[in-house]
């Protein structure tokens, strides 16, 4: 009876098209919200977030307000459990929440190459190391700003030449621009000779992160600047605290989209069933059992919802792949990326919502007495 279901949908083309379009728009929004939540989860969890520490100036938030002596790295390196220390100078064009935030990280080029999970897709590491004002750019930034190797990129008082474009297995990294530490320290308007924004600490495999963090703060307490050391994931979560609350609220927006699809498909199916109640009565007169008519209605609602859901999910994944979207605040960024999890969630939710939306009208059809329905002819 699949042919019958398809002909029914084609017979009411406008209604079917509007239902599929509505379901597609709702699932498009659902996938975008889901990608933001996945980006936050990737940023604040995982091995890198748990096994790395960020040493930041105490009671400071925006990178421009944290000023730590670069020499702190030598003291931190001597502590037990510390594998490596990388001083980092951070500069951002906007400390507030922004969809087009630009974040520069200045560090030793050799340390960037050996410690960061980045891989050049174009350009040269040698040029980056040998040229003072060279930079390597994450591919999301390059895509949004239209940058390629050899271009001169200027924002604010910083001007760098793109020596390479990189990709990373950590999506948030692809929203960064890396320069040498000395260039960013001596850049016009920054004036940070011998000063860095933060120290990133990598730990030995057996070290306790919380204990090492406490030891670092204790060792630097006698220094000129007090510090607050946290796991990298906890630091980024705290940095993005306002966005975390907003993303938590957006979680309910995703559920609202699912509810919208449910209401839309259910309404369409009810209208369709009411228009054709006598058709189902004729089918039962010809020998089609009530359970089969129930399955026919379920097939109709499920097909409508699944088609719309798959269309919306596919469009969302394509937009996420091509757009390179990200949102950030105070030097930390959340990348929006497509994933197999989003694709499977979109398809599965569309299928389940289609079944749930079709149950009430399908039950109505199956339980409608034949004689009163035939009297409508």
- Both 221 and 249 in one domain: the answer is no
Is 48 part of any domain? no
Q: How far apart are CA 202 and CA 48, in angstroms?
A: 9
Is 230 part of any domain? no
pTM for the model stands at 0.77
> What is the dihedral sign for C-alpha 238, 180, 195, 94?
negative
- Both 129 and 205 in one domain: the answer is yes
- Both 260 and 298 in one domain: the answer is yes
- Both 158 and 260 in one domain: the answer is no
- Both 76 and 213 in one domain: the answer is yes
Please report the pLDDT score of residue 297 as a whole number.
79
Rounded average pLDDT over 160-178: 89
3-state secondary structure 87-127: EEEEEECCCCCECCCCEEEEECHHHHHHHCCEEEEEECHHH
Please report the pLDDT score of residue 77 as a whole number.
93
Q: How many domains does the chain have?
A: 2
Please report the pLDDT score of residue 135 as a whole number.
94
- Both 78 and 203 in one domain: the answer is yes
Q: 339 falls in which pLDDT band (50, 70, 90)? A: confident
Is 18 part of any domain? yes
Enumerate the β-bridge partners of residue 334: 327
Angle, helix 13-44 to helix 290-323, in steps of 10 degrees: 50
Is 235 part of any domain? no
Checking if the pLDDT of 179 tops 80, the result is yes
| Nearest to 234, CA basis, from 39, 1, 14, 51 | 51
Q: 115 falls in which pLDDT band (50, 70, 90)? A: confident
The residue range of the domain holding 297 is 2-43+242-374
- Both 86 and 210 in one domain: the answer is yes
Is 92 part of any domain? yes
Residues with Cβ within 8 Å of residue 333, at least 6 apart in sequence = 43, 101, 103, 172, 175, 176, 326, 327
pLDDT averaged over every residue in the chain: 83
- What does the block give as tokens for 316? 């969302």
- What pLDDT, in 10s, does the model give residues 29-71? 888 888 888 887 777 776 667 788 999 998 877 787 888 999 9
């Amino acid at each position: 009876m699949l042919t019958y279901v398809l002909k029914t949908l084609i017979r009411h083309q406008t209604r079917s098209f509007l239902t599929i379009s509505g379901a597609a728009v709702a699932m498009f929004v659902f996938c975008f919200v889901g990608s933001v939540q996945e980006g936050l989860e990737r940023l604040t969890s995982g091995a890198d977030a748990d096994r790395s520490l960020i040493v930041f100036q105490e009671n400071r938030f925006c990178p421009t307000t944290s000023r730590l002596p670069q020499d702190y790295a030598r003291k931190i390196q001597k502590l037990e459990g510390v594998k490596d220390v990388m001083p980092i100078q951070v500069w951002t064009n906007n400390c507030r929440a922004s969809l087009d935030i630009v974040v520069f990280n200045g560090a030793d080029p050799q340390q960037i190459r050996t410690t960061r999970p980045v891989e050049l897709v174009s350009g040269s590491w040698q040029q980056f190391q040998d040229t003072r004002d060279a930079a390597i750019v994450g591919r999301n930034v390059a895509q949004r700003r239209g940058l390629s190797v050899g271009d001169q990129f200027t924002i604010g008082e910083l001007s760098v030449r793109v020596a390479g474009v990189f990709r990373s297995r950590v999506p948030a990294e692809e929203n960064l621009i890396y320069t040498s530490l000395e260039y960013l320290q001596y850049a016009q308007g920054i004036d940070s000779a011998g000063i860095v924004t933060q120290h990133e600490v990598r730990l030995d495999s057996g070290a306790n992160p919380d204990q090492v963090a406490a030891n670092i703060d204790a060792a630097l307490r006698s220094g000129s600047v007090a510090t607050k050391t946290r796991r990298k994931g906890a630091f980024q979560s705290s940095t993005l605290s306002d966005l975390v609350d907003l993303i938590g609220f957006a979680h309910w927006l995703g559920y609202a989209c699912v509810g919208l699809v449910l209401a839309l498909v259910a309404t369409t199916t009810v209208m369709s069933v009411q228009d054709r109640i006598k058709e189902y009565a004729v089918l039962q007169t010809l020998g089609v059992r009530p359970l089969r008519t129930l399955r026919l209605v379920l097939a109709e609602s499920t097909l409508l919802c699944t088609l719309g859901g798959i269309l919306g999910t596919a469009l969302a994944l394509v937009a996420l792949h091509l757009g390179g979207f990200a949102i950030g605040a105070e030097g930390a960024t959340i990348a929006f990326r497509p994933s197999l999890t989003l694709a499977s969630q979109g398809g599965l939710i569309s299928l389940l919502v289609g079944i749930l939306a079709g149950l009430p009208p399908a039950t109505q059809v199956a339980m409608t007495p034949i004689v009163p329905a035939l009297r409508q002819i």
